[in-house]
Structures are given as C-alpha cells and as structure tokens.
Amino acid sequence: MNRRDFLRGAALGVGAGMLGAMGAFSYSPWRKAMLPQVQRKMTDIGQCKSVKILNISETSWFDNGIFMNNVTKAGGLLVDQYTFNWPPFGNGKGIGKGSYADGIAKIKHLLPHKLEEAWAIAKESSVAPDNAGGFSCLVEIEDLEGKKTLYLFDTGWNYEWMDTCYKREGIDRMLANNEITAFIQTHEHMDHFWGFPAVTKYNPNIHIYTPSTFYPPGKQYIKDCGHVGKWTEVKKGLHQLQPGAALYMFEVPIIFKVFGEMSLYCNVKDVGLVSITGCCHQGIILFADTAYKELRYDNDKFYGLYGGLHISPFDDWDPKYDDLVIGLKKWELQRVGCNHCTGLITAQKFVDAGYPVVKGTARFRSKTTNYLGNGDVITFPG
C-alpha cells in the first residue's frame, strides 16, 4: 500500500486486521506524524464553472450470469476480447473462436449507416447478442464566461441499443449539428467502444480522443466505422482539453487484453475536483492518488465523482472490498454518481455507509435507483 494514500483519503485498502490492531489511530490525524511528506506537482489546469453529465446508457450488459458464463467458456478474463465471438464480430464458429478480421468482413460494407442490418447479421453468428448493452454519457463543461462545451464520453456496444439511446436523448441531432465538440473513448473494451458506428453514423468528422495504447484491431475498427476526422491519441499522463478540464491517460493492463484507460479531471471554481471515469480499471487508489500528486484544484478538495469504480462490477463481492468502501470516507465527497461498472453490491454498500449517492430513476432497463441510470443527470456543484 502507498503510504501517501492515508494523507488525502485515497487509502482505500485498509485491511480488517490493521483496523483491529490500530483502531481509531488509523483514522485519526495522529497518523500523519508517522508518514513522510510527498512532493506534489500542483499542475494548474485552470477552472471551470460547472459540470453536468447526462447518463445516456450505463447498462454495459443486461445479465451478469450470461456474461460471466461466456467469459468462463471462452477461457477467462485474460482472453483477447476479439476472440470471444461476441457481436458485432461473430463468425459463427462458437465461443472463444472468433476474430476481428472474420467478424468485420461480414458487416464492414454496412457501416456506419445501415446499423440495423449490420447488427442483424452480427446476431446470427455471435454469442449472446441480446445481452450486449453499453456505456455512454454526455459531459457538459461550462467555462467561467458561461460557454458550455459538450463531449461525448464512450459509445457503448450494441448498435441497436446505442442508436436507440442516442435518439432518445437527442444525441443523434447534436452529433449531426456539430454541437458536440469531441468524442472521448476512455478505453478499448467492447461495452464502451464497439458501438462506435452509432457515432460516425451522424458525424464521421468528429474529433476523437483515444488512449495511444489501442491494439491494431481497435485502431482499424475506428477506420472501418467510417471515421475521417481528427484523431488525437493521448499518451501517458495529463492532456488538457480546455480550462478546468484535462484527460489523464493511465498505462495499465486491463482484462480482455486491453491496455490503457483515460479519465477526466475537472476543477470546478470554489468547489474542487470532479472526477469522471469510464470504468476506472486503473484502480481507485491510483486514480485518487494521481489527482492529488499531479493537480492543483480549488479548496484542495475532492468534491465529486461520476462513473464506474470497478470495485465489483460482476457482483462477486469479496470482504476485502469492504475496506475500499470504508476508505472512501476520507475523501469527504459531496456528490457521487454510480453506474454499472461500479457494481450493484458496491452501490448499495455506498448507500448503506451514508455516502452522498445521487439516486437515479431506474428507467430504460437500469436495475436500481442507486445507479445514476439511463437518462438521468448529475450536476457539479449540485
């Protein structure tokens, strides 16, 4: 465990044995005398006035049991996602015997405009096509002068589901009218990325940001989906988007043979840091510790968090996760928006622990009001 994590509330891995041995001391100011000071870079990313997030779809997949059964039969969490034979890259050969080349060959000629036809073909030759959903949200950042800039954040999985969600929330119109400044792809996972033609269908010229660590199939897919606009591949570290908002690319290995994930940090004037994640595969400790070490933000305060925390997304709860829930109290967060990648059990644990979880409406197939669900909105400050 990184000692520094205790100082600012990023220490989320306090073990039960340690709690029993040290008791209140572990959570008291006295502990600081035992820890060394850490040099902070205090990079100034500027300020913004507010952040608003529309959760377009948080439902990455609809049934955990089906999903995990697929994973087990295909060989486990370390198998290349393009070989699972999930849609849209099914080749009809069964679980664990797929390939990007085989799958895209069946539908490339239909992308990005004939999504229904492409998905229908993919369903015929893929595993569990009806279980695919997707994650995507719209981030609105208001600058100090009142100008609002829109960023589309991830693009889901299922072509039909995502196209329906985009039409429901007016994203199709916003894309077509160039109202959305850029598209941010946090990482290469299927439930955040494979729905990309639902974006290029309406705006093939949109400026996109991806981690620089995409594998060749992922890079080729962006082209095969008809994207012809500017493409910024973000390297490890901080990448400024606008005053008060910056991406941070973490070079970390992730399940399903994916590497690298980006998150978004926003400094809201007079409020503090608002952090936005897709899945947070980099881990909540590293995520928080990076912000503390790298950035300057108002009141030196972690104010809000939206997105996945990836503590138990498969609802396979382990007692060690309770330590993460306990440790979050040190952040003194004022607003928390959870989604599918956080996990049902995790979200309930947050509520039971008294965290300021912004409740959703459980509409459009979202499973619980503990999630900021499909079609729901969270604002910072609230």
Q: Exposure pattern of 65-104 as b/e (b: 16+ CB <10 Å)?
A: eebeebbeebeeeeebbbbbbbbbbbbeeebbebbbebbb
Q: State the pLDDT at residue 36.
A: 66
Distances from the Cα of 270 to the Cα of 252, 300, 303, angstroms = 32, 10, 10
Dist CA 330 CA 237 (whole Å): 25
**Contact status, residue 11 vs residue 327, Cβ threshold 8 Å:** yes
Give the Cβ contact number of residue 188 at 10 Å: 26
Q: State the pLDDT at residue 213.
A: 98
Whole-structure pTM value: 0.89
CA–chain centroid gap for 367, Å, is 18
- Mean pLDDT by 10-residue block, N- to C-terminus, for the chain (382 residues)? 36 33 40 66 97 97 95 96 97 96 98 98 97 98 98 98 98 98 98 98 98 98 98 98 98 96 98 94 87 96 90 79 81 90 88 93 94 96 92
Q: State the pLDDT at residue 30.
A: 46
Dist CA 382 CA 373 (whole Å): 17
**Contact status, residue 187 vs residue 210, Cβ threshold 8 Å:** no
Dist CA 31 CA 37 (whole Å): 12
Q: State the pLDDT at residue 22.
A: 35
